[in-house]
């Protein structure tokens, strides 16, 4: 990563934090909790996925109890999160595949592994792809691994940090190579804020945008 690239990314994060407020450090959470919450968050709002996760934990206080439940029961518990049938199948696949610590499904052994080995083990789980694995590494384990969702990808290519044609899957590696490790979490959250609030997929609000001077998308 060049010094100029690092300086530009630091400037972009600084501009977004002045516009949207500082990104607060995230408290670590159990890896399996984060993984299940991520599965529930797919194709729905944070509010809906949060309700689904709370409902699931209320009905099944331990992951062992959830792993032993029927698919229909899991589906009923997470219905508020949308796509309940598909997500119930994925959640049960994960819970019945991960190692057990004294009978309880658990992923905390990942914390003693390298980023690459932990990512590889996560991706071997049913329904877990690169983005979900990166979220567990970044959010649960505090590793400098950048998750790239649709908002991060869109804002990044509009800023000219990556090429649009590489797609979201390859963007994890491309952005990970240019974002300084100490900025990974703040960069991720800042781009999501900006993508949701102003740099929308359709009709982005470019007038008065704090990143206008940095944006390749609106330049002739």
Q: How many CB atoms lie within 10 A of CB 76?
A: 14
Do 136 and 171 share a structural domain? no
Do 192 and 172 share a structural domain? yes
Do 154 and 56 share a structural domain? no
Q: Model-level pTM?
A: 0.90
Do 178 and 121 share a structural domain? no
Do 151 and 136 share a structural domain? no
Do 133 and 69 share a structural domain? yes
Do 58 and 18 share a structural domain? no
Pairwise CA distance, residues 152 & 59, whole Å:
34
Point out the catalytic residue in the list 87, 131, 172, 193: 131
143-164 average pLDDT score: 95
CA-to-CA dists, residue 124 to 24, 132, 161, angstroms = 31, 12, 30
Do 36 and 19 share a structural domain? no
Quick one: pLDDT at residue 53?
97
The whole domain housing 96 covers 31-140
45 — phi, psi (to 5°)?
Answer: -80, 160
Residue 69 pLDDT > 70: yes
Q: How many CB atoms lie within 10 A of CB 21?
A: 10
Quick one: pLDDT at residue 188?
96
Quick one: pLDDT at residue 48?
95
- Is 95 among the domain residues? yes
Quick one: pLDDT at residue 5?
85
Find all residues with CB under 8 Å of 172, minimum gap 6, and list them: 130, 131, 134, 146, 147, 148
Each residue of 23-68: pLDDT tens digit? 998 888 899 999 999 999 998 999 999 999 999 999 999 999 999 9
Q: Which of 84, 109, 140 is the last residue of a domain?
A: 140
Each residue of 162-207: pLDDT tens digit? 999 999 889 988 999 999 999 999 999 999 999 999 999 999 999 9
Do 185 and 87 share a structural domain? no
CA-to-CA dists, residue 38 to 81, 127, 142, 158, 209, angstroms = 11, 11, 16, 26, 30
- Is 219 among the domain residues? no
- Is 44 among the domain residues? yes
Q: Which of 107, 140, 173 is the last residue of a domain?
A: 140
Sign (positive/negative) of CA torsion 81, 86, 90, 95? positive
User: Can you give the CATH number for the domain in which 41 is found?
Assistant: 1.10.340.30
- How sure is the predictor about 217, in pLDDT bands with cuts at 50, 70 and 90? confident
Do 105 and 16 share a structural domain? no
Q: Which residue has 């940090």 as its token pair?
A: 161
What tokens appear for 10 in the block?
């630091």
Number of domains into which the chain is organized: 2
Q: Which of 140, 165, 188 is the last residue of a domain?
A: 140
Residue 219 pLDDT > 70: no
Do 161 and 126 share a structural domain? no
User: Can you give the CATH number for the domain in which 179 is found?
Assistant: 1.10.1670.10
Q: How many CB atoms lie within 10 A of CB 87?
A: 26
Whether 195 and 1 have beta carbons less than 8 Å apart is answered as no
Q: Which of 75, 100, 77, 76 is nearest to 90 (CA)?
A: 75
Do 134 and 159 share a structural domain? no
- Give yes or no: 131 in active site: yes
Quick one: pLDDT at residue 1?
52
Each residue of 88-134: pLDDT tens digit? 999 999 999 999 888 899 999 999 999 999 999 999 999 999 999 99
């Amino acid at each position: 990563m060049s010094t100029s690239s690092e300086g530009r990314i630091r400037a972009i994060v600084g501009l977004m934090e002045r516009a949207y407020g500082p990104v607060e450090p995230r408290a670590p959470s159990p890896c399996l909790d984060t993984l299940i919450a991520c599965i529930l968050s797919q194709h729905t709002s944070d509010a809906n996925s949060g309700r689904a996760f709370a409902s699931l934990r209320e009905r099944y206080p331990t992951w062992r109890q959830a792993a032993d439940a029927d698919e229909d029961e899991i589906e009923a518990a997470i219905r508020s999160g949308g796509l309940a049938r598909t997500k119930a199948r994925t959640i049960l696949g994960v819970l019945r595949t991960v190692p057990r610590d004294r009978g309880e499904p658990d992923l905390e052994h990942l914390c003693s592994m390298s980023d690459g080995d932990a990512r590889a083990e996560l991706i071997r789980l049913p329904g877990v792809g690169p983005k979900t694995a990166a979220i567990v590494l970044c959010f649960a384990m505090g590793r400098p691994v950048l998750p790239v969702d649709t908002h991060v990808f869109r804002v990044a290519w509009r800023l000219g940090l990556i090429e649009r044609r590489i797609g979201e899957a390859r963007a994890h590696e491309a952005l990970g190579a240019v974002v300084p490790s100490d900025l990974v979490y703040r960069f991720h959250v800042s781009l999501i804020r900006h993508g949701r609030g102003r740099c929308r997929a359709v009709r982005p609000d470019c007038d008065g945008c704090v990143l206008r001077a940095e944006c390749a998308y609106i330049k002739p």
